[in-house]
């Protein structure tokens, strides 16, 4: 049975309930006779608030309500499209009034709700306020105060917020003035949770107290009202928005509130209570008896056919009996399978509904949690429940929306900024990308090291990055390649080497574990190799960087950071300065990457266990404890790379941490600034 809506309105001024059947700015209406295609089953509820006193703006409010009603029921198509059209024209009408009138400009807040069968569509603009009560709790619309609010009638551009919910019998909807939004959501439990309209309106009077308010309270039910008007159909709001007089029975407090039923035509007789378990048992017995009767009939039919068409040969007799025998046995089995499937499917549907309701209630608790830690716990619980529900119904849109809201909530708690990425080039699955560096400039080329196949690729940049299909990866360096007198060996790391006093061209530098630095110059596409002294002392070099044209090689196996001074295109070693010295043990054996600040030569070390430290002249300036105190709530777990981006005081440290699927940004002073994740929530 489709749900019905029993709507009541309440108008209170300074604590006194008004005896009025036409409250300014409220509308509860069923579809008129000449509604557009698709609108016949839609029931519209509107709450409009205009600046100024309601009695001063009642005529204008009624004109706006008439505009919303007529436009909504004139537009075919989706509910959201019709709501958008109606709200837009309402805004244009109010805006024209404000621009053409010398009187005080009127601005407003608007909530429009549409019930179609078991669905509820909600659209809001301005500082509007609505609540939807379930048997497990209350949802607030909007869930939190928007960052920016554009009132109705101020500009031609509107920020319309859309919401969608599935309704169940017993749910209740409250459309109220924004002035009530300061009241805690829990205070409305007696109004919206397991409460009839009449009782809810009484509770609302107590909640409003000596304040003023205009509210619409709607109860969604699958039962026919006990008393209806004389006609065979429920009382329905008229197309103009004025509601019909309430029924005289059952008694309601005189004129304090008005209750009408809005829904499909319903008989006035009271249906008897039905024992669902008895009905199911009876249905199963009837099905089994029907199958048995069908089996007996099939056997009788087979016997009759055997007598009418006798056979002289045993083979023909066997053949003739095969089909009737199959029918006699197969049909009851098929019936049993179908009946069992129906009950199994019903169980899955019921379980899915339970999980969805549980996820919704937990999500409501997360929104209204008193502390961030409690909110995070509720969000995590919601994810677990959603995973169970998605196993029963994969690809469900409502579950996907809730999952999206959970991720947004978790991001808000942890200060995560989501970033969308574009595919530039897809490497083979047999590749393992171990190093990446960018050429000079904002749109510099991208150089990628495939450590598994020991190849270096050049990915052209520029405008082509917008179209992944046109970006090719060109191999510029590979193992056993002959470069001058050098044969390329295993390549460990890449860096961009800008031009300076010693080298006149910008280029890519690659560390060859055979004791050389290989340079690729993109301007002419030539490659050169220079030997590095003391390479026999290397144990396990892992990363390279540069400062003031010097080359630094991180060697956790030694453990040391080797220092090479530039001399032309090559490098030399200075006695006594072969490596960076630290005042205290820097535990270089645990370092996975390093960066050197170009302004003062300070060294930032990244450790595999999540530590991050900065050293100046060999002395520790700050460590991971300082980072934690600066706002880094979730520590680094398994970081792999570090990069300094920017110039001077605008420089920042960026750390790639696959262990937490994020990139974390710090200032050079050791302050946590931000963290970034991918928009697909997979890291």
| 298: confidence class by pLDDT, cuts 50, 70, 90 | low
Mean pLDDT calculated for residue range 508-512: 96
The CATH number for 503's domain is: 2.40.10.500
Q: Is pLDDT above 80 for 286?
A: no
| Among 459, 675, 437, CA closest to 543 | 437
- Does residue 228 sit in the same domain as residue 313? no
Is residue 31 one of the residues assigned to a domain? Answer: yes
Is residue 557 one of the residues assigned to a domain? Answer: no
- Does residue 303 sit in the same domain as residue 445? no
CA pair distance 365, 378, nearest whole angstrom? 7
| Among 11, 14, 15, 13, CA closest to 24 | 11
Is residue 573 one of the residues assigned to a domain? Answer: no
User: Residue 382 has which token pair?
Assistant: 């919601």
- Does residue 648 sit in the same domain as residue 630? yes
Task: Tally the domains of the chain.
Answer: 4
Cα angle for residues 155, 157, 162 (degrees, 5° grid): 125
- Does residue 76 sit in the same domain as residue 208? yes
User: Could you tell me if 657 and 642 are in contact, meaning their C-beta atoms sit under 8 angstroms apart?
Assistant: no
CA pair distance 551, 566, nearest whole angstrom? 7
Mean pLDDT calculated for residue range 438-444: 71
Is residue 132 one of the residues assigned to a domain? Answer: yes
Residues of the domain holding 407: 278-414
The pLDDT tens digits of the residues spanning 189-233 come to: 999 988 888 888 889 989 988 888 999 999 998 875 543 333 333
Q: What is the pLDDT of residue 299?
A: 63
Percent of residues in the chain assigned helix, strand, coil, to nearest 5: 30, 30, 40
SS3 state of residue 309: coil
The pLDDT tens digits of the residues spanning 343-380 come to: 666 667 777 878 888 888 888 888 888 888 888 899 99
- Residue 401 to residues 102, 360, 383, 627, Cα–Cα distance (Å): 46, 11, 12, 35
CA pair distance 448, 441, nearest whole angstrom? 17
Is residue 569 one of the residues assigned to a domain? Answer: no
Q: Looking at 399, 414, 429, which one is the last position of a domain?
A: 414
Is residue 568 one of the residues assigned to a domain? Answer: no
- Residue 261 to residues 85, 115, 246, 462, 490, Cα–Cα distance (Å): 27, 13, 9, 64, 80
User: Residue 535 has which token pair?
Assistant: 């390479």
- Does residue 428 sit in the same domain as residue 392? no
More confident residue, 327 or 478: 478
Q: Looking at 496, 523, 548, which one is the last position of a domain?
A: 548
Q: Is pLDDT above 90 for 542?
A: yes
- Does residue 282 sit in the same domain as residue 242? no
The secondary element (H helix, E strand) that includes residue 648 is none
- Does residue 235 sit in the same domain as residue 371? no
The CATH number for 237's domain is: 3.60.40.10
Which pTM does this prediction carry?
0.52
Sheet harboring 516-521: ordered strands across?
491-497, 507-512, 516-521, 526-531
Rg, the chain, Cα only: 37
- Does residue 403 sit in the same domain as residue 437? no
Q: Tell me which of 355-359, 443-447, 546-550, 577-581 is least confident.
A: 443-447
Tokens 């829990």, located at residue: 186
Q: What is the pLDDT of residue 235?
A: 38
The CATH number for 633's domain is: 2.40.10.480
Mean pLDDT calculated for residue range 581-598: 95
| 147: confidence class by pLDDT, cuts 50, 70, 90 | confident
Q: What is the pLDDT of residue 290?
A: 56
Is residue 570 one of the residues assigned to a domain? Answer: no
Q: Tell me which of 405-414, 437-446, 460-469, 566-575 is least confident.
A: 460-469
- Does residue 483 sit in the same domain as residue 364? no
- Does residue 317 sit in the same domain as residue 407? yes
- Does residue 129 sit in the same domain as residue 250? yes
Q: Looking at 368, 390, 414, which one is the last position of a domain?
A: 414
Q: Tell me which of 40-44, 277-281, 532-536, 594-598 is least confident.
A: 277-281
- Does residue 230 sit in the same domain as residue 358? no
Is residue 572 one of the residues assigned to a domain? Answer: no
Q: DSSP string of 480-526?
A: T-EETTEE---EEEEEEE---SS--S-EEEEEETTTEEEEEETTTTE
């Amino acid at each position: 049975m489709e749900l019905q809506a029993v709507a009541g309105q309440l108008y209170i001024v300074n604590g006194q309930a008004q005896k009025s059947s036409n409250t300014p700015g409220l509308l509860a209406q069923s579809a008129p006779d000449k509604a557009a295609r698709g609108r016949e089953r839609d029931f519209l509820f509107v709450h409009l608030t205009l600046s100024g006193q309601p009695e001063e703006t009642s005529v204008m409010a009624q004109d706006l309500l008439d505009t919303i009603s007529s436009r909504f029921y004139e537009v075919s198509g989706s509910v959201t499209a019709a709501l958008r059209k109606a709200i837009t024209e309402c805004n244009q009408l109010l805006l024209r009034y404000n621009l053409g009138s010398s009187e005080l400009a009127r601005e407003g807040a608007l909530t429009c709700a549409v019930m179609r069968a078991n669905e509820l569509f909600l659209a809001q603009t301005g500082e509007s306020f609505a609540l939807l009560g379930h048997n497990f709790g209350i949802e607030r619309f909007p869930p939190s105060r928007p960052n920016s609010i554009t009132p109705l009638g101020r500009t031609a551009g509107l920020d319309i917020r859309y919401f969608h919910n599935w309704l169940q019998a017993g749910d209740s909807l409250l459309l109220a003035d924004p002035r009530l939004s300061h009241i805690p959501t829990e205070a409305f439990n007696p109004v919206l949770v397991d409460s009839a309209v009449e009782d809810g309106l009484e509770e609302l009077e107590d909640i409003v107290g000596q304040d003023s308010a205009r509210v619409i309270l709607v109860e969604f039910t699958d039962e026919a009202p006990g008393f209806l008007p004389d006609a065979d159909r429920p009382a329905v709001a008229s197309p103009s928005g004025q509601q019909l007089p309430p029924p005289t029975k059952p008694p309601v407090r005189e004129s304090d509130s008005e209750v009408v039923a809005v829904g499909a035509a319903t008989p006035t007789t009271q249906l008897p209570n039905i024992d669902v378990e008895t009905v199911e048992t009876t249905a199963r017995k009837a099905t089994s008896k029907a199958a048995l009767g069908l089996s007996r009939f099939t056997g009788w039919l087979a016997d009759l056919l055997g007598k009418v068409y006798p056979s002289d040969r045993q083979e023909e007799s066997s053949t003739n009996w095969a089909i009737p025998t199959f029918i006699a046995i197969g049909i009851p089995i098929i019936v049993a399978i179908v009946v069992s499937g129906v009950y199994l499917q019903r169980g899955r549907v019921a379980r899915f509904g339970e999980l969805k309701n549980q996820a919704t209630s937990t999500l409501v608790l997360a929104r209204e949690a008193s502390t961030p830690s409690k909110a995070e716990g509720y969000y995590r619980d919601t994810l677990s429940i959603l995973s169970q529900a998605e196993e029963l119904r994969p690809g469900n849109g409502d579950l996907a929306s809730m999952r999206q809201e959970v991720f947004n909530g978790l991001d808000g708690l942890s200060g995560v900024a989501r970033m969308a990425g574009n595919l530039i080039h897809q490497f083979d699955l047999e590749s393992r990308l171990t190093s990446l560096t960018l050429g000079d400039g904002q749109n510099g080329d991208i150089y990628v090291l495939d450590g598994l196949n020991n190849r270096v690729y050049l990915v052209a940049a520029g405008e082509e990055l917008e179209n992944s299909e046109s970006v090719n990866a060109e191999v510029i360096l590979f193992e056993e390649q002959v470069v001058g007198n050098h044969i390329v060996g295993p390549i460990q790391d890449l860096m961009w080497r800008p031009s300076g006093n010693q080298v006149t061209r910008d280029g890519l530098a690659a560390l060859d574990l055979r004791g050389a630095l290989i340079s690729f110059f993109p301007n002419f596409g030539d490659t050169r190799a220079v030997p590095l002294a003391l390479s026999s002392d290397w144990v396990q070099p892992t990363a390279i960087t540069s400062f003031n044209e010097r080359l630094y090689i991180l060697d956790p196996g030694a453990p040391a950071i080797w220092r090479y001074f530039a001399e032309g295109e090559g490098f030399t070693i200075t006695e006594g300065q072969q490596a960076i010295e630290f005042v205290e043990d820097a535990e270089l054996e645990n370092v996975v990457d390093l960066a050197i600040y170009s302004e003062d030569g300070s060294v930032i070390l990244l450790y595999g266990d999540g530590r991050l430290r900065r050293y100046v002249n060999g002395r520790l300036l700050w460590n991971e404890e300082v980072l934690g105190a600066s706002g880094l709530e979730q520590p680094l777990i398994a970081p792999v790379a570090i990069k300094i981006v920017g110039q001077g005081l605008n420089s920042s440290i960026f750390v790639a941490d696959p262990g937490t699927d994020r990139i974390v940004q710090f200032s050079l002073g050791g302050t946590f600034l931000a963290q970034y994740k991918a928009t697909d929530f997979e890291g």
